[in-house]
Amino acid sequence: MTHVLAILIALMLDRLFGDPARIHPVRWIGTLIAFCDQRLNRGRRKKEKGMLTVLFVAFLSFFISFSVISVSYHVATWLGVFVEGVVIFTTIAAKSLKEAAYDVLSPLERGDLSLAREKLSMIVGRDTERLTEQEIVRACVETVAENTSDGVTAPLFYAFLGGGALSMLYRAVNTCDSMLGHKNERYRQFGWASARLDDVLNYIPARLTALVMISIHAHGRARIEAFRLLFRDACKHPSPNSGWGEAAMAALLRIQLGGINTYQGVISVRPTIGEAREPLKKEHIRQAVAVMERTVTAFTIGGIVIAMACAWS
């Protein structure tokens, strides 16, 4: 139950303060990953070196978090709960995700496509310079859908499972994947282990998130149809996990995601997800953020209920 109290503190801190950019542990993790990348991503046996990197970064992140939290609980229970809450707070990004989406939406509503493209480029990997308004909306909605799990419910899942230290371990692996898990010549071997381990850790949270997302937003025949689209389209995405959030979001908003993207000038054609029953429009960004927020709330309540049932059994 102390984990539950810590999670509630973390969510409250996230709602109040958002991303603590200047003192964020993920920045320190990123610095460590960059150091390992510079020193180890060369010569032979890159795959093995990449495996050692992600395991080292994950273990160190877990060990330091576990030690700090354990010492805090040893001093006083209330201090332990608060410190663990702060640790979990640094692993979730609900408010930051909302703000990033609205940073794209605001210039769109003013008709400033140039600024919208610039803001979008800060949260997606695709080329944004020539995107149309509909393509900007699609990219933003896809980002919100994918990061509902990656950035919020997955770290919450591991916080419920094993507290702040396990949540930080997940965030460390996810950061390794973000920095190293690219399918280009430099990282194809060195980032392989980071990408695979991130896929494993996100496997259950991504599917749970999609199921919760549809269960609380659709009813009756609409829910049946949304689940049909989810199970039809989730596996179309190149990522084994990202498609679940995108398919659920597309089904709920009655839009189509996926299609043609460009990465560093190289065209990538991805299968479409969902059915285009409504044309993509600016309002879909706001709707996607609302879906994300309600999904996180439902996910948290479900975790609390399960935790209480386990505590009292």
The model's confidence at residue 18, banded by pLDDT at 50, 70 and 90, is confident
Is-above-0.85 flag for pTM?
Answer: yes
Q: For the chain, how many helices (H) and strands (E)?
A: 12, 2
pLDDT of 304 higher than 80: yes
DSSP letter at 181 equals -
Which residue type sits at 184? N
CA separation for the pair 134, 141 (Å, rounded): 11
Q: What is the pLDDT of residues 115-167, one digit of tens each?
A: 999 999 999 988 999 999 999 999 999 999 999 999 999 999 999 999 999 99
- Which residue, 165, 212, 169, 201, is CA-closest to 306? 212
Write down the pLDDT at residue 49.
Answer: 96
- Residue 24 — pLDDT band, cuts 50, 70, 90? confident
Q: What is the pLDDT of residues 67-113, one digit of tens each?
A: 999 999 999 999 999 999 999 999 999 999 999 999 999 999 999 99
What residue spans define the domains of the chain?
2-312
Q: Write out pLDDT tens, residues 164-219.
A: 999 999 999 999 999 999 888 899 999 999 999 999 999 999 999 999 999 999 99
Q: What does the pLDDT read at residue 22?
A: 62
For the chain, report the end-to-end CA distance as a whole number of angstroms: 13
